[in-house]
């Protein structure tokens, strides 16, 4: 798998905002008129591949300022907004991520940076935002870019067989794009998840797509070729780069990706699975505990930092409440960045609060997939966050699903929800024996 498979892990976010603090700043050039960051902004991160835009909306709420990052149909709330003097801080607390910026004297520009904690330390990108500009990408001439062969490919609407390549190998994906005029919305699906909601433009033979969700900053460029294919680049955050090629196919079925139900197996023949890790209070929890005896158990291998895990979490919380009395137990095994129990535990607690999770969450290890697999020797590998292990009332593993296709994928998201619910219903209908 490519190193970037760490992305296959992003929910439906409840629109909750935190209040801001701090007084408004007064612009000396405008007398006593207050200068406020409230408004709609064209926000831009300076990716190594060029401008990575998204829409930023800041508004007054009953309890203070509220903000959200918007890409297509998705509006992701920041967990907190702080305005002090001429400085604004926008937090995604659940991802240990924030934008800090200063508001210009005329109130028309924000300039600062985005910072996010990653396993290697901090990822940073310069940030700038322009009030009232509703464009996503600038025109090619303004951006200093060259298009492709638009005559050979007048539109990118439809399904695409895609191959991403970096220095660790190649990975198959499927692109699903919808185009109206120059605007393009869509996503890429892989064996273990998706790239969430992407939005951009296709103009003069150049496709540009971007998304920002607080955890990831993705930028895609691709030029149309004379044979109707696409050839381009993918940048993630401040360091990662891959190339990609795509060819249009008549249907999704003709852009197959590996089956997420078949990527991980068991290391022994008796279909048993075991774990023992501390919960957030430091108490050891084991699958051998009495609470799991005779129950259907869904073990969810996740990270609070993972957007696809956040996509899946509200569903797990809902299934826990819906099926608990029928004999379902859900337990989450958290693999976090630092390995520091206090720090990682605080992030997992935020994750639980955000999604209304009542089932136990255990601190199992760090986010490196090879290291995670060593903590779960009954599995042949851990190839994605999240991974869901379904165990029947007799304690035997029935199925293992790697990754999660989130709401940005449309029909695959709904189909996967139905698969999970049908499997749970089947297991719960069985008796122990």
**Domains (ranges, CATH) in the chain?**
3-131 (2.40.128.120), 148-254 (2.40.128.120), 276-429 (3.40.30.10)
- Confidence bin at 10 (pLDDT 50/70/90): very low
pLDDT at residue number 34: 55
**H or E stretch at 21:** none
Interval 294-353: pLDDT, tens:
999 999 999 999 989 999 999 999 999 999 999 999 999 999 988 899 999 999 999 999
**H or E stretch at 362:** strand 361-366
SS (H, E, C) 76-133: EECCEEEEECCEEEEEEHHHCEEEEEEECCCCCEEEEEEEEEECCEEEEEEEEEEECC
- pLDDT averaged over every residue in the chain: 91
Residue 6 pLDDT > 80: no
Q: Are 241 and 250 in contact (CB under 8 A)?
A: no
Interval 29-41: pLDDT, tens:
433 345 889 999 9
> Any idea what DSSP says for residue 380?
S
Interval 257-291: pLDDT, tens:
999 999 999 999 999 999 999 999 999 999 999 99
Mean pLDDT of 84-91: 95
Tell me: cis bond preceding 386? Omega within 30 of 0 counts: yes
Interval 371-394: pLDDT, tens:
999 999 999 999 999 999 999 999
pLDDT at residue number 120: 82
Mean pLDDT of 168-197: 95
The proportion of the chain whose per-residue pLDDT surpasses 90, expressed as a percent, equals: 86
In 3D space, the residue among 224, 152, 146 whose CA is nearest the CA of residue 184 turns out to be 224
pLDDT at residue number 32: 39
Q: Are 32 and 26 in contact (CB under 8 A)?
A: yes
């Amino acid at each position: 798998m490519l190193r970037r498979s760490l992305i296959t892990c992003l929910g439906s976010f409840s629109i909750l905002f935190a209040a801001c603090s701090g007084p408004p700043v007064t612009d000396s050039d405008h007398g006593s008129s207050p200068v406020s960051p409230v408004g709609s902004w064209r926000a831009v991160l300076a990716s190594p591949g060029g401008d990575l835009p998204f829409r930023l909306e800041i508004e007054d709420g009953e309890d203070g300022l509220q903000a959200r990052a918007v890409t297509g149909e998705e509006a992701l709330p920041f967990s907190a907004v702080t305005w002090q003097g001429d400085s604004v801080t926008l937090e995604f607390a659940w991802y240990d991520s924030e934008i800090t910026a200063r508001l210009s004297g005329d109130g028309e520009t924000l300039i600062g940076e985005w910072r996010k904690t990653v396993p290697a330390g901090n990822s940073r990108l310069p940030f700038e935002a322009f009030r009232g500009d509703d464009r996503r990408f600038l025109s090619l001439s303004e951006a200093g870019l060259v298009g492709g062969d638009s005559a050979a490919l007048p539109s990118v609407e439809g399904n695409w067989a895609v191959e991403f390549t970096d220095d660790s190998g190649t990975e198959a994906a499927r692109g699903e794009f919808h185009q109206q005029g120059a605007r393009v919305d869509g996503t890429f699906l892989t064996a273990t998840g998706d790239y969430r909601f992407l939005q951009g433009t296709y103009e003069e033979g150049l496709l540009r797509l971007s998304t920002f969700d607080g955890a990831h900053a993705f930028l895609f460029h691709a030029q149309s070729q004379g044979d109707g294919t696409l050839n381009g680049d993918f940048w993630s955050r401040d360091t990662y780069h891959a190339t990609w090629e795509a060819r249009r196919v008549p249907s999704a079925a003709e852009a197959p990706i590996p089956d997420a139900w078949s990527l991980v197996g068991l290391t022994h023949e008796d279909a048993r699975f075991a774990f023992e890790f501390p919960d957030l209070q430091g108490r050891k929890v084991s699958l051998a505990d009495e609470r799991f005896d005779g129950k259907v158990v869904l073990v969810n291998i996740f990270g609070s930092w993972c957007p696809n895990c956040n996509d899946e979490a509200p569903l797990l919380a809902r299934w826990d409440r819906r099926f608990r009395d029928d004999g379902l137990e859900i337990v989450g095994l958290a693999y976090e960045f630092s390995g520091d129990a206090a720090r990682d535990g605080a992030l997992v607690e935020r994750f639980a609060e955000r999604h209304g999770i009542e089932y136990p969450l255990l601190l199992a290890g760090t986010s490196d997939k090879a290291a995670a697999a060593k903590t779960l020797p009954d599995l042949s590998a851990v190839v994605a966050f999240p991974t869901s292990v379904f165990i029947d009332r007799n304690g035997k593993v029935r199925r293992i699903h790697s990754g999660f296709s989130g709401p940005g994928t449309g029909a695959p998201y709904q189909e996967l929800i139905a698969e999970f619910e049908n499997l749970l219903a089947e297991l719960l209908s069985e008796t122990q024996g």
